[in-house]
Structure 1
Amino acid sequence: MTASPLPPIVLDHPLVQHKLTRLRQASTSTAGFRRLTRELSLLMCYEATRSLSTEPVGIETPLERMEGRQLSGKKLCFVSILRAGNGILDGMLDLVPAARVGHVGLYRDHDTLEAVEYYMKLPDDVAERDCIVVDPMLATGHSAAAAIDRIKASGVRTIIFVCLLAAPEGVACLSARHPDVQIVTCSIDRGLDEKGYIRPGLGDAGDRLFGTR
């Protein structure tokens, strides 16, 4: 029996929606786009790590001894889907600097819209870690699903996918192929156009991050 897919988490926090609106604007500069993406990645990381387990730990404050909480269990690995995923990765590492990092290089064939892999590098102990996979856009879902196929083949069992924007088609594709993967996004937009771009979207995230548009 196939498990029911996890429903996507859409972040409706006022700060998220304000920054996303500014990110979408065509007039936002490359520097502004990078800054806003980094700020949004911090807010998305906060939500994506909400379910991390903690354990008690005794500490000394300047005034007395107390019992606090610290992270326990598996450690984190952030996996960036190249190249645009690196725009989200930087902000997440600001929040969790001890996390390990992996990269999966994929590009979308413009004729078939299927994902083609050209690079993959994961930490040796990735199977012992919880993974947060990052890519700004979940459009057709083929690239995300292909990346997660490879990550699961390395033994990883707990994966969260984080993106700025998603299309309903991408959510459906990823949920069908990986119903156990939680999707965290700032918005699920109207849909895809004939070229596979999210509408209304924000344009090509990679080009806007790296000034190659």
Structure 2
Amino acid sequence: MASASAHKGAGFDFSNEVRYVRFRNSFLTDRGIPLPKATSTGTTIVGCLSKDGIILGADRRATAGPIVVTMPKQMLFRCHRLQLFTIHPRGSTYKLPYVTVGSGSLTAMAVFEANWKPNMERTDALDLVCAAISAGIFTDLGSGSNVDACVITASHTEMLRDYVKPNERVQKERTYKFRRGTTEIKNDEIRALAVEEDITYIPTARGRRAT
């Protein structure tokens, strides 16, 4: 009889996480507690290789479902060699000259594919990163606000907060103020909504299940 291999493949092992999720779900459902719902999040984060290091960039908007917050997003990295990796939740890694992640990644990737070149100077690479983040800001509802950048070399790391401000508010040409009652309310009506539910029990192997 063949025995199970003790060798683990490359990448991260998420088997404990899978077992925990199954245990958590059964623990909650057995007690009638609804399972937590997934929350849609959004942002744009990019990175690319330059001649002397790595340039990273991110927008300042954090989106989680209906909540939208503008806040600084801290990214910490350590550079040993000029290499840039992206790591997916499933554990796979990709070594690439430029990467984009987040809800605005497709638009940002188009900017890199059209303009990135090997051995770019610091200024050119930094401008390209800002252009990619700005593309995500203007085309993705989950991204927004200003552009943060980070320049990483073998000797130092430089954080550039609010390096580009593509959405600065300008002074309005006029001040619009309307006196109370300008828009007249013709009528006011309140309706009571009655909701009816039909519960049908379907016999299963473990008992009855409501639908």
| Length-normalised TM-score, structure 2 | 0.28
Structure with higher Rg: it is 2
Structure scoring higher RCO (CA < 8 A, sep ≥ 6) equals 1
| Length-normalised TM-score, structure 1 | 0.28
Higher relative strand content: 1
Higher relative helix content: 1
